[in-house]
Structure 1
Amino acid sequence: MERTAPRPPPAVDPLRYRWVILGVATFTQAATAFFVQGIGAMGVHLQRDLDISTAQLGLLLSAAQFAPLLGFLVAGELLDRYNERWIVGTGATVVAAGLLLGSTAPGYASLLLVLLLVGAGYSTIQPGGTKSVASWFDPSRRGFAMGIRQAGLPLGAALSSAALPFLAGATSWRATLLAGGLVALLGAAVFMVFYRRPPHVTVPEDGPHLSLGAQLAARFGMVREPSMRKVLLSGLSLISVQCGVGILTVLYLYEKASLEAGAATLVLVASLGAGVAGRIVLAAWSDRVASRYTCVMTCMIAVIAGMAVLMTPLGREPVPASLTFVWLGFFGLGWYGPWLAYLTESAPPGKVGFALGMVMAVNQIAIVLVPPTLGLLKDLTGSYTPAWAVLTALTLATLAATAPAVAAVVSRQGLRRRPPYS
């Protein structure tokens, strides 16, 4: 009896399907971060229902950020070896399972453990989604695609900050974890159903002749490359600014610019909205310039200018201060799109996943340490100026250390434009 050969899966048009991949990666990241992004907005409900202090509330905010310190490195290594579909899909499922389990948590301690589990699962989402988008988009549109994907995070933060407090007030804090778990589960399902690798992508191997130590040395050795050092330094400085704006905006406007708490919160929402626009606009601009790092340097210069305003009497006037925080939102959050595109293009071939994990792990150190450090600095001095001064000095030092190398590269290449969009 003659056997019929199985039909190959239907081919997809890469130029069209890449937009499906972009939408899937953006949705999955927003879905898995949905609950964590809304914790701060639920502070009143959590403190009331769990009877916890402000410090304990802050620990909840940080709990989901600890696991990625190591998790990003592990996820990056796995992404260089296996299909993104299973790495990201599994991580998103872990996030969903943790939140669904947390909806039955009896109290604060168990909720803290749940968020540690959620952080472990989320470690695969950021580098995995970034690598998946980078592999589907050529350089002519890679920055624009990265900007759209990264805009999903501040947009998701705004949506969760509006939805979760309402749900907590109408029902209970456990219902918010249930909702967050269901949203994350949907994100996992969407990614595993729709994601596939582009036809030209293969998984490189280090070869059996390399020991584990030699493989790790080869991976961490990429830090010696000038482009990777620029990525590390600029990421640390700008993620610190991003954390500072996130934690201090409302307090500064309330205490120093004489805005009501509600109005100050609206300014923060406007700043986040500006960050959404910045991540798309600046990333699209990076597709058109000779070096993407030029866009990153522009963000550093703009951040320094904004911080300078806050350290003058003009920064204590309601309107100028509010406009300054919107400015800082555009550049202080918008840098991430072109920065990620520059990172993926600077990483050695076959090591993009590990490079993403390594650099994001370094950034995670700042995400964990900067908010309490800036808060302590303000408490000790009674002023916000030292916090703005530290962020300004850090950004200035990074700009001074990386700008000469960029200028040399641009002068050798000439100010040529990138090829038009495909």
Structure 2
Amino acid sequence: MRTSRYRWVILGVATFTQAAAAFFVQGIGAMSVHLRRDLELNTTQLGLLQSAAQLLPLAGLLVAGRLLDRHDERWVVGIGALVVAVALAAGSAVPGYVSLLVVLLVAGAGYSTVQPGGSKSVASWFDASQRGLAMGIRQAGLPLGGVLAACALPSLATAYGWRSTLAAGALVALSGAVAFMAFYHRPPDRRPVATTSRVRPALLREPYMKKIILSGASMVSVHSGVGVLTVLYLHEVTAMDPASAALVYVAVQCAGALGRVCLAAWSDRHGAGRYACVLTCLAAVIIGMAVLTTPVGRSPVAACLLFVWLGFFGIGWYGPWVAYAAESAPPDHTGFALGLAMAVNQVSVVLAPPVLGLLTDLTGSFAPAWALLAALTAAAMTLTARL
């Protein structure tokens, strides 16, 4: 009974660590007006800031996956979150834009262990009947970190300058690292799996992995686009002031957190399986992005409602998706399979913000960016529905 109760402690700690490690990077979108003004950035450069934190995980997620299959999640995740804290603390003294990019690169390397490690730790404590709900709650840590960051960082940047936000991010990430190392341990009935097999890129040929990668790549692009462009769109297209636009961004992140929990819980009971829930999210995103490209999207009220819709489905998709990925992987390669899927997704995470920013700068409009995301999502839905 104590073990049954303690799994909820594990879930709470894993969720908190996820939110703490992602806190600063998830707040970049909310600070977009401040950063662009103080550092004299264009939209493309702003997108590169978002990408910098995601570049090293291209390889780091694969390394983290192998480490997680061989070592205790407590130390792999805890040390990774600690690296994020140290990098952000150093970043509070950086002189400008280029140095900030370097700091975010290092923070991204540390964060590589937090995402797959937290997912594996929760999957190991919960059986299939509640795994979707648990994964959804844990994955809600990412948008919850965004909510807290959107509430705190713009005000902090206004009062004390943008460097102070990195110091705050360092303290939050440190608290996540300490909490995970203090409270996490493996389930009593599970011991480290001795695996001597080589890294298995053959997993990429499996039908389930193709579904995971195609849907994930399109939806992380949507998540990145919503993160980096929402506040700017509301400010420049609907004439909303930066403070109000940041509050809408808070609502978008809250909707994403709610979506991750509700959609994952729904996937526990969906007769057609977890991936049917992912397909529903793909369809909902296509609708939302398409409407944003029309004159309806220029209305402040309509735009706010559309972004909340995109938050629920365009961020919430991750709950059922990661549960599907964890359950589809071979038992002795769960960490590597999660790391592999997330590493391939990182290509989109890295490319999407600067590409969408450049497209916006070149055309002088946000509509082409929304149209591109809608087209990518439609392609992923069509291809994966046939697998």
Shift of 1:367: 1.2
Is 2:111 aligned against 1:122? yes
Partner of 1:410: none
Residue 150 of structure 1 is matched in structure 2 by 139
Matched residue of 1:196: which SS? coil
SS in 2 for 1:80: helix
Is residue 313 of structure 2 the alignment partner of residue 331 of structure 1?
yes
Residue number in structure 1 paired with 2:258 = 277
Structure 2 Cα separation of the partners of residues 70 and 301 of structure 1: 31
Q: For 2:100 and 2:295, how far apart are their aligned partners in 1?
A: 43
1:306-356 CA distances to partner (integer Å, 9 max, x unpaired)? 223223333333333322221111111110101010000011121111111
Q: Does residue 135 of structure 1 match 2:117?
A: no
The alpha carbon displacement at 1:15 in A equals: 1.3
Counterpart of 1:67 (choices 50, 56, 60) is 56
Which amino acid in structure 2 is aligned with residue 138 of structure 1? Answer: D
Q: Answer yes or no: is 1:322 the counterpart of 2:304.
A: yes
Runs of 5+ consecutive residues of structure 1 not aligned to the other structure: 1-11, 406-422
Q: Residue 341 of structure 2: which of 331, 338, 359 is its match?
A: 359
Q: Deviations over 1:228-280 (max 9, x none)?
A: 11001110111112222223333334444454544444333222221111111
Question: For residues 22 and 202 of structure 1, what CA distance do their matches in structure 2 show?
Answer: 19
Contact 1:28 / 1:187 at 8 angstroms: preserved in 2?
yes
Distance change >3 Å, CA 119–CA 176, structure 1 → 2:
same
Query: Residues 340-351 of structure 1 correspond to what in structure 2 (within 5 A)?
Result: 340-351=322-333
1:28 aligns with 2:10: no
Q: Which moved more, 1:266-275 or 1:323-332?
A: 266-275
Task: Name the counterpart of 1:7.
Answer: none
Offset of 1:375 from its aligned partner?
Answer: 2.4
| Cα distance change of structure 1 residues 326 and 178 upon mapping to structure 2, 3 Å threshold | closer
- How many equivalent residue pairs? 385
C-alpha distance in 2 between matches for 1:179 and 1:254:
26
Q: Counterpart of 1:198? A: 187
CA distance in 2 between counterparts of 1:257 and 1:397 reads 30
2:380 is aligned with 1:398 = yes
Letter in 2 for 1:53: L
Partners of 1:24 and 1:190 within 8 A in 2: yes
Q: 1:358 to 1:248 in 2, by over 3 A?
A: same
- Bigger RCO (CA 8 Å, 6+ sep): 2
**1:5 aligned partner:** none
Change (3 A) 1:260 1:143: same
Match of 1:4 in 2: none
Deviations along 1:87-117, one digit per CA (max 9) or x if unpaired, are 0111112122222233344555444333222
In 2, distance between residues paired with 1:96 and 1:384? 34
- Contact 1:63–1:112 (Cα < 8 Å) also in 2: yes
Aligned residue type for 2:208 = S
In 2, distance between residues paired with 1:197 and 1:156?
A: 25
Q: Does residue 229 of structure 1 match 2:210?
A: yes
Q: Of 156, 159, 166, which aligns to 2:148?
A: 159
For 1:5-16, list aligned pairs within 5 A.
Answer: 13-16=2-5
Task: Give the counterpart letter for 1:31 in structure 2.
Answer: A
Aligned residue number for residue 41 of structure 2: 53
How far the C-alpha of 1:42 sits from its partner, in A, is 4.0
Paired residue for 2:168?
Answer: 179
TM-score between the two structures when normalised by the length of structure 1: 0.84
Gaps in structure 2 of 5+ consecutive residues: none
Q: Specify which of 277, 297, 307 is matched with residue 279 of structure 2.
A: 297
Q: 2 CA distance for matches of 1:331 and 1:42? A: 23
Contact 1:25–1:129 (Cα < 8 Å) also in 2:
yes
1:222–1:348 Cα contact (<8 Å) kept: no
Q: Specify the code of the residue in structure 2 equivalent to 1:64.
A: A
Q: Shift of the alpha carbon at 1:186?
A: 1.7
Check whether the contact 1:203–1:350 (CA below 8 A) recurs between aligned residues.
no
> Which residue of 54, 57, 75 corresponds with 1:86?
75
Moved more, 304-313 or 117-126: 304-313
1:80–1:351 contact (8 Å) kept in structure 2: yes
The code of the aligned residue for 1:327 comes to W
Alpha-carbon separation, structure 2, partners of 1:393 and 1:45: 31
In structure 2, how many angstroms separate the alpha carbons of the residues matched to 1:265 and 1:175? 18
CA 1:163/1:357 → structure 2, altered by over 3 Å: closer, same or farther?
Answer: same
Equivalent residues in 2 for 1:98-109, closer than 5 Å: 98-109=87-98
Moved more, 301-310 or 253-262: 253-262
**Whole-angstrom distance in 1 between the partners of 2:37 and 2:224:** 26
Deviation at 1:129? 0.6
Cα pair distance change 1:225/1:382, threshold 3 Å:
same
Paired with 2:203 and 2:70, the residues of 1 have a C-alpha distance of 18
Corresponding letter in the other structure for 2:86 = A
Contact residue 156 and residue 164 of structure 2 kept, 8 A:
yes
In the aligned structure 2, how far is the partner of 1:178 from the partner of 1:249? 25
Q: Secondary structure of 1:131's partner?
A: helix
Q: 1:289 to 1:24 in 2, by over 3 A?
A: same
Instruction: Give the secondary structure class of the aligned counterpart of 1:270.
Output: helix
Aligned partner (choices 244, 254, 267) of residue 225 of structure 2: 244
Counterpart of 2:350, as a letter, is V
- 2:48–2:354 CA contact under 8 A, matched in 1: no
More displaced 10-residue stretch of structure 1: 373-382 or 22-31: 373-382
Counterpart CA distance in 1 for 2:34 and 2:157 is 7
